[in-house]
Structure formats: C-alpha cells, structure tokens
C-alpha cells in the first residue's frame, strides 16, 4: 500500500454501466436538483453521484399549489415536471461539471422518442456523464405512464435515445405496472445500460374537512418509507429475471440498513430522494453505515453483497 486513495481499493466504490462512483449513494431526480449550486451541496453531503431534476425540451411551469402533501410515512407529490427547458438547464449542467467531483446524471423527459433524444443529446453535449430517462412520472400525461407502461413505446424511446448519445443510458422504471420485469427486459433489449427502480407509486390524499382532493392535480406519486417494500420487491424481481443488468434501487432509502436491503435484493447502488429533503448529510451516514456493516459481516466490498438475498 502506498497510502494513496484509489477507487480500486475502496470497498465502497462501485462501477456500473461505465460509471465509477466512490460510494453507492446517488441523489434521486427532483430533489435539490434544480441548479448546479444545489447539486453541489448534495455532492458535498457525500453523494457518490447526482441526478438532475427531470428536464424537457421546453420550459414547463408545473402545477399550481398544493403540489406536495405529507402522507402517513412519505410524501405525495404532483409537481408537474416544472423545469426551465434544456437550453437554459444546459448551463446548469455545464457549470455543475466545473464544480462537482462526482458524476452528474441528467434526467430527461419528452413527449416523443425524438424529443427524448434531442434533450438527452443536449444534456450530454453540456457535459452530463450519463442520462437517466424518466419514463415513469405518474402524474404528467403522455410522458409518464403512457411510455413507461408500454414495452413497445419504451423500446422505441430507448432505441432512439441510445442511437443519439455515446454516454451510459439508464432507464427509470415505474412501479405502476403489473409486471415490472416485462418493462425492464424491453428497456435492456432496446439498449439500456442500467435501470433505476423505481419512480413514485400512484397515490392521492383527500381532506376530510374540505371533502376535496388535496393536490391541485388530484393524483400524485407516493415516495419515502411507505414505498420501500414495493421498490425492494421491484429490484428483487428484476434481478431474478435479468441477472447481471445493473439496477439502481430507489424508494424509501433513509439509512444504511435500507441501502443494504437494496444491495441484497440486487441493486448495485441506491438513489435517495425524500430523505434528502430532511437531511442532506444522509449520504454520508448511509455510506458510513454500509462500510461498518461490510466489515462486521466480513465482506470486502459492496459488489460482493449485490443479489445475495437470491441465494438458495
């Protein structure tokens, strides 16, 4: 040992889809991802990589308030994909590449395969290290459910984007489907290098006093602790069906134990969203806890425990 830090010898470092992360925690899309400055704050909090807010071809205002409501153990949001459009957001990606020391993954959405491809290409030209396709937003018509629930549309979008960019392509899947492995397989066969599982679960909240739905959009997506068992099952299903395809677990991760459960189910890394809103230091805490767990269980790296829950 010469004492130099090397990703090769770091038990927490992981590589998937051509990306190398110093630790397996990633900021999920839509939380503190609006600007290079907020992404940098998260990176300094210890994230191994960051995903930007989902960005489309043109500016979108999003829905009027209320857009977020507290549920029993999580949040229900229907933001409506507010974003400044890729032309303006490209500047944030470009700037983030000058300040962040971790991979920047651009989350993109569109209303057609071509639109997805244009936005993805612009994001890569601005310096994004990878692209994550949001084909799973549960509350915006013609870009969420319609694409993410149809293997045929999904395949078309993935193929078109894959042909347009030279960086790793990650597809973020929806849990709002009967069999997530059908969509996972369609995405991988169309060229996805990795999958993120999952986006939010379709949900709603009603106010007993006003007797009306609370969100202005009525329906939204549930995130946080409440979705963890569902997300975990999705990762497990995908790993069982597709084996070696890298999966990023997402849904309700708030501590090291949650992260470990996702690794055991088959995830190579985890994304954290709702828990970051409360505490940007969560990445550091999760990473430290995972390191202690690996030592206690006598494993040399995160890689070694990926998918272990599948052992017969």
User: Which stretches of the chain bind ligand FMN, using CB under 6 A?
Assistant: 28-31, 53-54, 68, 75, 77, 79, 81, 107, 134, 172, 199-200, 223-224, 227, 250-253, 272-275
Residue 9 vs 70, nearer CB to ligand FMN: 70
| Alpha-carbon radius of gyration of the chain | 18
Catalytic choice (135, 137, 154, 245): 137
The distance of closest approach from Cβ of residue 211 to ligand FMN in the complex, given in angstroms and rounded to an integer, is 26
Cα-based distances in Å from 19 to 189, 202, 234: 20, 31, 23
- Report the alpha-carbon distance of residue 28 to residue 206 in Å, rounded: 27
The distance of closest approach from Cβ of residue 133 to ligand FMN in the complex, given in angstroms and rounded to an integer, is 9
Residue 107 vs 217, nearer CB to ligand FMN: 107
The distance of closest approach from Cβ of residue 198 to ligand FMN in the complex, given in angstroms and rounded to an integer, is 6
The distance of closest approach from Cβ of residue 144 to ligand FMN in the complex, given in angstroms and rounded to an integer, is 9
Q: Are 272 and 46 spatial neighbours (Cβ–Cβ below 8 Å)?
A: no
Beta strands (DSSP E) in the chain are: 14-16, 19-21, 25-27, 49-51, 68-71, 74-77, 104-108, 130-134, 169-173, 194-197, 201-204, 206-207, 212-213, 219-223, 247-250, 269-272
Residue 52 vs 160, nearer CB to ligand FMN: 52
Q: How far apart are the first and last CA of the chain?
A: 37
137 is a catalytic site residue: yes
The distance of closest approach from Cβ of residue 5 to ligand FMN in the complex, given in angstroms and rounded to an integer, is 28
**Which alpha helices (DSSP H) does 16-112 contain, by range?**
36-44, 86-99
Residue 243 vs 281, nearer CB to ligand FMN: 281
Residue 11 vs 277, nearer CB to ligand FMN: 277
| C-alpha closest to that of 32 among 239, 276, 304, 209 | 276
Kindly list the catalytic residues.
137
């Amino acid at each position: 040992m010469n004492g130099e830090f090397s990703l090769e010898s770091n038990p927490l470092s992981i590589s998937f889809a051509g990306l190398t992360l110093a630790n397996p925690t990633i900021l999920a899309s839509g939380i503190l991802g609006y600007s290079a400055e907020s992404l940098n704050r998260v990176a300094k909090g210890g994230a191994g990589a960051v995903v930007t807010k989902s960005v489309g071809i043109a500016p979108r205002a999003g829905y009027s308030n209320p857009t977020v409501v507290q549920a029993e153990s999580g949040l229900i949001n229907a933001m409506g994909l507010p974003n400044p459009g890729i032309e303006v957001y490209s500047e944030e990606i470009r700037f983030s590449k000058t300040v962040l020391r971790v991979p920047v993954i651009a989350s993109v959405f569109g209303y057609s395969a071509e639109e997805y491809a244009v936005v993805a290409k612009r994001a890569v030209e601005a310096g994004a290290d990878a692209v994550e396709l949001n084909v799973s937003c549960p509350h915006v018509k013609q870009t969420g459910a319609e694409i993410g629930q149809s293997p045929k549309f999904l395949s078309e979008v993935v193929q078109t984007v894959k042909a347009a960019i030279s960086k790793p392509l990650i597809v973020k899947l929806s849990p709002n489907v009967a069999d997530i492995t059908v969509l996972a397989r369609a995405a991988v066969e169309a060229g996805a290098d990795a999958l993120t599982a999952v986006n939010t679960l379709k949900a709603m909240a009603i106010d007993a006093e006003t007797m009306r739905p609370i969100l202005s959009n009525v329906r939204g997506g549930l995130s946080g602790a409440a979705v963890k068992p569902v997300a975990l099952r999705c990762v497990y299903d995908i790993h069982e069906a597709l084996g070696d395809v890298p999966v990023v677990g997402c849904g309700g991760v708030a501590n090291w134990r949650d992260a470990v459960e996702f690794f055991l189910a088959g995830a190579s890394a985890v994304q954290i969203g709702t828990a970051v809103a409360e505490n940007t230091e969560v990445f550091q805490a999760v990473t430290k806890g995972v390191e202690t767990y690996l030592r206690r269980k006598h494993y040399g790296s995160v890689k070694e425990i990926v998918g272990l829950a599948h052992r017969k």
